[in-house]
Each structure stands twice: as C-alpha cells, then as structure tokens.
Amino acid sequence: MSAPRSKQQDAVRVNFDFRRELAEKIEGNLASFCYQCGACVGDCPAATYSEEFNPREIMLKVLYGLGDELLTTDSVMWQCVNCYNCHERCPQEVKPVEVIISLKNMLADRDIVPTPVDRIIKTFEQTGRTTQVSPAVNRQRERFGLPPLPAVPMDEVQKLLEPAQKEGDQT
C-alpha cells in the first residue's frame, strides 16, 4: 500500500510565470475573478458541439497557470468561434473570450497555428478578408438585391498589420 499523501503534496502549485505572461497579453488579469459558476458554458456553441471544449475549465486552468495543458499542439482553443456569448453570460466580467483570444495569441507566438487558421491569416494578409470573395459570391448577392462587396482598403489593412509584422521580425 502506498504512503498517504502529505498536505504539502496535495497543495496546488500555481504557475505565476504563466499567469504573468498571459497578463501581458490582456488588459487586466481577468481570469482571476472567475468563481467557476459555469454560466459561460451554457450558451457556448463550441462547448455544445465539442466534448473537449469548456470555457469554465479553460478559466480554471488559467487560474492554476497550467500553461503546459493550455498551449499544446492540439489545443482546443481554436474551437472557440469568438461569438462573445460567454462574455454576455459571465457575472464576473471575466471576458472568457478575450482570455481565450490571448491564449490563441500565445499559441501563435509559439508557432502553434493549425493549417486552416494559417490559411485564414494568409488570406487576410493578401486580401483584407478572412475568406476569398469569388465572382459567384457577388452573383449571389445580386440575386438577393445586394450591392457587390466594396474593395478593401489594403493600405489601411497594412497599417493594422505592421506592428504584428515588426514584432514577428524581431523574434
């Protein structure tokens, strides 16, 4: 029979280095206010369709600073569709979606970006849109009585992208 665990062995060790790194990505240490009520889960489309994804559990891991579990090559973070339902539901103003976006940024800093997401980023850099607009899209818009999509001001997009590109060049 193995020896009983001591109180010290059972103590939760919070990884504050990870939490500090996350705090640099997001204004305020938002997850600190999470009291694990689970209200963010009920209306979360990602949690509805995926057994792996749960914003409450993600906030708990953030509270413990479990970066090794959050920033994995098969991270569930990309399943979040940024709908902001969790933000509307959270009584503590944790803004789980913004914590998750920051975690996605940390994944990107580590070059952990799934191929479909990488494709969206490249399309945005080239066209200013997240998906290509084919002539068929404008034909369909015309059928619905909508005008063609306006041209994207790529000089404005370039200005928005410049800080991130400079940051990337320095790393």
Residues forming contacts to ligand SF4 in the complex (CB under 6 A) are 34-40, 44-46, 55-56, 59, 80-86, 89-90, 92, 94, 96-97, 100
Q: How far is the CB of 33 from ligand SF4 (least distance, A)?
A: 7
Q: Which is nearer to ligand SF4, 18 or 80 (CB)?
A: 80
Task: State in Å, rounded, how far the first CA of the chain is from the last one.
Answer: 51
Contact 31, 62 (CB under 8 A): yes
Q: Which is nearer to ligand SF4, 34 or 70 (CB)?
A: 34
Residue 3 has which token pair? Answer: 């020896």
Instruction: Using alpha carbons only, give the angle 114, 95, 79 rounded to the nearest 5 degrees.
Output: 25
Q: How far apart are CA 31 and CA 82, in angstroms?
A: 17
Q: How far is CA 67 from CA 38, 159, 170, in A?
A: 21, 32, 24
Q: How far is the CB of 80 from ligand SF4 (least distance, A)?
A: 3
- DSSP labels, 17-44: HHHHHHHHHSSS-GGGG-----HHHHT-
Q: How far is the CB of 65 from ligand SF4 (least distance, A)?
A: 16
Q: Report DSSP state, residue 81.
A: -
Q: How far is the CB of 18 from ligand SF4 (least distance, A)?
A: 18
Q: Which is nearer to ligand SF4, 101 or 113 (CB)?
A: 101
Q: Which is nearer to ligand SF4, 126 or 130 (CB)?
A: 130
Q: How far is the CB of 34 from ligand SF4 (least distance, A)?
A: 3
Q: Which is nearer to ligand SF4, 23 or 161 (CB)?
A: 23
Q: What 3-state class would DSSP assign to 107? A: helix
